[in-house]
A and B are shown apart, each in its own frame.
Chain A
Amino acid sequence: MANAVDLTTTFDSYVAAENRVEPKQWMPEKYRKTLVRQISQHAHSEIVGMLPEANWITRAPSLRAKLILIAKVQDEGGHGLYLYSAAETLGTSRETMVRDLLSGKAKYSSIFNYPSLTWADIGVIGWLVDGAAIANQVMLCRTSYGPYSRAMVRICKEESFHQRQGYEIVMKLARGTSDQKAMVQDALNRWWWPSIMMFGPTDDNSPNSEQSMKWRIKRKSNDQLRQEFIDKTVVHAEFLDLSIPDKDLKWDESRQSYDYGEINWDEFYRVIQGDGPCNRQRLIARNKAHNEGQWVREAATAFAAKQAAKKPANQAP
């Protein structure tokens, strides 16, 4: 039997040749662990990401806006499920992942620890936060692990509605009264920096990135994705006469890209480590929702048992 070194070498060249990895194939333990961590964190982010938006469902300014927001939040729940399922194919259980989220052991995207203060935030979240997520997810559609890549394809199809509905809200406010315009500018001011932090630390401070790129888990570096996002988003902002809150932002002719200012990485790490504006609130809300859903899970289990008992023995599955 081949030893682990040989297997790893074969695996490395297999993924380097753009082949996809499927659940039952041999894979290095570190590849498996990296994916479990990344996919479950991604799933948690979808689930926690429902909270800042759900905050505005009851206060949406019209029935149309409310329907759309409910559909979007429902999508996020679905995305969480696709991702939990993908992670489960790697041998981790749903219970473990949910438990790690509820206990605070698992991480999720730091962006969801910021509060959604006004209706304009809902627009800006769709435009910037979903926009940044899409940049990352489009790349992940071609990730080397089959189930993750298939989940991403499905998510990307649905996610572009999210960004467009967000921009629509931003557009309405930006073209509205001076108060509305000020409200959306304020939301942009608060969400801009946390949004561009979503791509993670700079390339020289991202120790796991190189291996992930080698294994084709990631296909673009954090800085590369961040730059692409900024270049696109500046155009969106200019179109509406909104100003990006970065005095160092300027077009660099030679790079054909925008230069941007220094990111406050202290804030980034502080929020990741649990000390953002809403970390505690989010965990309390998740735990509350989980505990209050306990009777639903129990009822479903009891109902299934009752239905099974009703079936004549010869028809039992």
Chain B
Amino acid sequence: MSDTSNWPLWEVFVRSKNGLAHKHAGSLHAPDADMALKNARDVYTRRSEGVSLWVVPSEAITASSPDEKDLLFTPADDKVYRHPTFYDIPDEVGHM
């Protein structure tokens, strides 16, 4: 099976309709981008799930490490003043 072992892994993103972002749907192996697209169409959009597809080589994705989760994301937790609900605005002011 050495014939397919060099086929790269592709991540598939599907836009369900115009106006929405492409969303990760899954992955598949294919020898090149064109065939990855064709396979993605058969595998991930058999029931009109999409109007547009992206395939991205998995190895092109740089991901943050789960070990750095706290380091990266907890600093935002104590900055509640970044949310609109932090501020008390009297009802009389109307919608803001």
Contact = CB atoms under 8 A, between A and B. Distances in A.
Interface size of A as a range: 20 to 34
B66 A301 contact: no
A79 B9 CA distance: 17
Given A24-B63, A24-B66, A95-B5, A151 B35 contact: no
Contacts of A78: 42-43, 46
Contacts of B5: 93, 95
A152 to B, nearest CB: 12
A288 interface: no
A178 B27 CA distance: 49
A203 interface: no
B1 A301 contact: no
Label chain B's interface by main secondary structure. Answer: mixed
Interface in B2-41: 3-7, 9, 25-35
A303 B34 CA distance: 11
A74 B66 contact: no
B62 interface: no
Given A22-B66, A24-B65, A74-B46, A317 B3 contact: no
A99 interface: yes
A151 to B, nearest CB: 7
Contacts of B3: 294, 297-298, 301
B31 A303 contact: yes
B46 A307 contact: no
Interface string A303-317: 111011000000001
B46 A98 contact: no
Interface string A80-113: 0110010010000111001100000000000000
Contacts of B30: 300
Contacts of B28: 81, 85
B79 interface: no
B95 interface: no
B66 A25 contact: yes
Contacts of A71: 46
B82 interface: no
B47 interface: yes
A252 B25 CA distance: 44
Nearest to A295: B3
Given A22-B66, A88-B9, A304 B35 contact: yes
Contacts of A297: 3-4
Contact of A304 (B32, B42, B63): B32
Contact of B31 (A95, A99, A150, A304): A304
A246 interface: no
A81 B46 CA distance: 14
A308 B32 CA distance: 9
Given A24-B66, A95-B5, A85 B31 contact: no
Interface of B: 1, 3-7, 9, 25-35, 42-43, 46-47, 63, 65-66
Interface of A: 22, 24-26, 71, 74-75, 78, 81-82, 85, 88, 93-95, 98-99, 150-151, 154, 158, 294, 297-298, 300-301, 303-305, 307-308, 317
Given A81-B28, A297-B3, 14 more contacts: A22-B66, A81-B43, A82-B43, A85-B26, A85-B27, A95-B1, A95-B5, A98-B1, A154-B26, A298-B3, A301-B4, A304-B34, A304-B35, A307-B34
